[in-house]
Chain A
Amino acid sequence: MAPIGSRIRARRIDLGLRQVELSRRIGISAAYLNLIEHNRRPIAGKRMADLARELDTDVQVLTGAAFAPLTGGLRDVAARSRGATADPASAEDLATKFPDWAALMIAQDRRIIGLERAVDNLSDRLANDPWLSAALHDILSSVTAIHSASGILVDDPGIEPDWQARFLRNLHEDSQRLADSAKGLVGYLETGDGLERGLASPQEELEAWLCTRDWHLCEAETGGDPELPPGLSSGALALARAHVAQYQRDAETLPLAGLRAGLAACDGDTAFDPGALIALAGGDLLCLFRRLASLPEGVAGRPVGLAVCDGSGALTLRKPIEGLAMPHPGVTCPLWPLYTALSRPMTPIRQRIAPPGRDAQCFATFAVSVPDLTGGFDRPPVTTAAMLVLPDDTPGPALGVGPYCRICPRNACPARREPSILADTGLG
């Protein structure tokens, strides 16, 4: 910490006061004040209070106590910065001259610690979730820029004013970007239980709520209304009500008891066949797919994933399945059988698929698209496509699909829209 005398001298010079004038005001000689300012005489008590008053500041500022928490915080930042060689004096200088920026750096450091912890916890999800991967890349890039700029400001007390201003501006930009990215990430991660308003798209809010119910709404099985969670946005609330209404209609068409009986009758078949199940239980393919994806745990006898899109290809519902990154709205791989079904209305599509990865699990998919003419025969039909996804351990060829082009390693893919940022692993 800089000696008190040096701080007094710096403050006096900042105010444009001469030693003679200041010493006269507090009743000591200029020579004695000079000794104090050069840290060769101690100062405390009433004389210190007089000096603080004449210098229009607080005693704590002159003693350095006012900046001790900031200085300590900056030292912590430097200590956590591997390989940093910041000296204590420069930390105090930064805290004294730019207390707001010092506080920002400390706050960002704490945020970085929290985010790094979150990154550790989520590292196994990176390979399977393209949105998460892109979001974390953005966060780590912001953190790196903040880390480097703050390191320069702490380590280099002789930095030129132009560069200092430029790095302070970069810090501000990157901290804003980090805050935005972190907010989006928190919203994405908390949709599983928090469902906080505005932190996810309405569709993601709906899917997160359904995840908390394991996608089974027991109340709606008998026509009842499940209690919707508090905090849903108005958009998500509308989607949730529409989903419940559809669920109730599906349950009426394909009651749970009939579905259980149909599944039991099909149990032991080597290949799952939705057509055979419809013959036993009734309903249509879209209804059956939705019902299979909302059964109570254990009834289907295997994990079930589901993706639904409208005629434009926009995804309207995604029930995830372990081992497969489901299509992400707006950037999906066009090779998914869901889209093949969309181009061939009313034609059932069965396709075995393989996500990227050396030991990736393969999946059986069943897809169909159905035009809805309830808007009128002469109006454009409203088409819905749905794709059921089941684990498939049987050997055989599989169509390679990806999450989306930017993070798909299959560079030779004929459906590629944009270059990948990943190396081709040769597994396409």
Chain B
Amino acid sequence: MVRRILLIEDEPNIIEAVRYILTREGWAVDTHSDGATALSQVARRRPDVIILDAMLPNRSGFDILRDLRADAATAEIPVLMLTARGQQKDRDLAERLGADRFMTKPFSNAEVLACVQALAGAD
């Protein structure tokens, strides 16, 4: 069965690169760029893993994560949080809100892949 991942990120070239490396490994990758409608995309796509950027237009990734964890239907979906700022307070906030993993930009392709595979395995 094909595993499905939802990449919520607003940088087109990052989307393209991450989609390529995950697709190459057999993942079905859906992408979305708007924070305001991200939750409805999660409900519609029902992904096995979510990659969620912290800084999105219209709604922050942290707010989205908070709502994901508050909804029984999405509370268990593994989430990898991405941020361009590696400050400890961001990391602490992501952890407090229920992110399974936290990764700081710039990241390597191998790191993303390993992280997603680990999250899928732990699912």
Contact = CB atoms under 8 A, between A and B. Distances in A.
Contacts of B57: 421
B114 to A, nearest CB: 7
Given A149-B17, A152-B17, A152-B21, A140 B106 contact: yes
A268 interface: no
Contacts of A84: 108-110
Nearest to A141: B11
A288 interface: no
Contact of B108 (A81, A123, A133, A145): A81
Contacts of B63: 423-424
B84 A152 contact: no
Given A83-B110, A123-B87, A421-B60, A143 B17 contact: no
B17 A170 contact: yes
A137 interface: yes
A170 B16 CA distance: 9
A151 interface: yes
A221 B23 CA distance: 69
Nearest to B84: A140
B13 A145 contact: yes
A377 B114 CA distance: 73
Nearest to A82: B108
Interface string B48-77: 000000111111101100100000000000
A151 B108 contact: yes
Contacts of B106: 112, 140, 143-144, 146-148
B62 to A, nearest CB: 4
Interface in B14-31: 14, 16-18, 20-21, 24
Q: How large is the interface on B (under 10, 10 to 19, 20 to 34, 35 or more residues)?
A: 20 to 34
A90 B78 CA distance: 34
A147 B56 CA distance: 20
Q: Decide if the interface of chain A is mainly helix, strand, loop or mixed.
A: helix
A155 B60 contact: no
Nearest to A419: B58
B85 interface: yes
Nearest to B107: A144
A7 B81 CA distance: 45
A163 interface: yes
A411 B50 CA distance: 25
Contact of A82 (B16, B56, B105, B111): B111
A194 B90 CA distance: 33
A383 interface: no
Contacts of A420: 60
Contacts of A145: 11, 13-14, 17
A83 B13 contact: no
Interface in A127-180: 133, 136-137, 140-141, 143-149, 151-152, 155-156, 163, 166-167, 170, 173-174
Given A141-B105, A143-B106, A423 B14 contact: no
B14 A148 contact: yes
B59 to A, nearest CB: 6
Given A126-B85, A148-B14, A140 B105 contact: yes
A427 interface: no
A265 interface: no
A81 B55 CA distance: 24
Interface string A316-343: 0000000000000000000000000000
Nearest to A112: B106
B93 interface: yes
Contacts of A133: 85
Most B CB within 10 A of own CB, among A133, A136, A423: A423
A167 B16 CA distance: 9
Interface in A196-226: none
B21 A148 contact: yes
Interface in A335-368: none
Given A148-B21, A173-B13, A423-B63, A83 B108 contact: yes
A118 interface: no
16 contacts: A83-B114, A123-B87, A126-B87, A136-B85, A137-B55, A144-B84, A144-B106, A146-B106, A148-B13, A152-B20, A152-B21, A167-B20, A174-B13, A421-B54, A421-B57, A423-B93
Given A133-B85, A174-B13, 18 more contacts: A82-B110, A84-B108, A84-B109, A85-B110, A126-B87, A136-B84, A141-B14, A144-B14, A147-B108, A148-B17, A148-B21, A149-B16, A152-B21, A170-B16, A173-B13, A419-B59, A421-B56, A422-B60
Closest 3 CB pairs of A and B: A83-B110, A148-B17, A423-B62
Interface of A: 81-85, 112, 123, 126, 133, 136-137, 140-141, 143-149, 151-152, 155-156, 163, 166-167, 170, 173-174, 419-424
Interface of B: 11, 13-14, 16-18, 20-21, 24, 35-36, 54-60, 62-63, 66, 84-85, 87, 93, 97, 105-111, 114
